[in-house]
Amino acid sequence: MKDQSHKRHIAKTITWRIVGTLDTVILSWIISGSPIIGLKIGLAEVVTKMLLYYFHERAWFKINLSKDGEVLESRKRHIAKTFTWRLIGTIDTMILAWIISGDPLTGLKIGFAEVVTKMLLYYFHERFWYKSNYGLSNRNKKEL
């Protein structure tokens, strides 16, 4: 199961990064007014976010949130994962946008704008992957 879970987490990392990068590029372009700045921010965060996301997935894989011996219901777990990931992702985006644009206010605007869009997109991404059996030898909710 261990090799299978790594494969699954890598696939989730890649699919989320595609969705997340497109969202960042579009928001950065709109807020900065420059498609070049939007692309630079989006491309810069591909590496940082893939690394951060992979470690976030591994940490949540090892966390066993349970109540009275029962694994935390998937929707609640996905909401908790959404909030922890969004905090990490927003801080990363704000820093990168500030560095690339040279304006801390632009970094803050982009970071705050994507809080809502990314949380919605991430929640649906988690639900999609929860229903997928890719990388799972058998369906066991305790392992998710």
Neighbouring CB atoms inside 10 A of 38's CB total 23
Backbone angles phi, psi at 117, to 5 degrees: -65, -45
Supply the DSSP string of 70-125, one letter for each residue: EEPPHHHHHHHHHHHHHHHHHHHHHHHHHHHHS-HHHHHHHHHHHHHHHHHHHHHH
With a pLDDT cut of 90, the percent of the chain lying above it is 47
Say if pTM beats, i.e. exceeds, 0.85.
no
pLDDT in tens, 51-80: 998 899 889 888 866 666 566 667 788 888
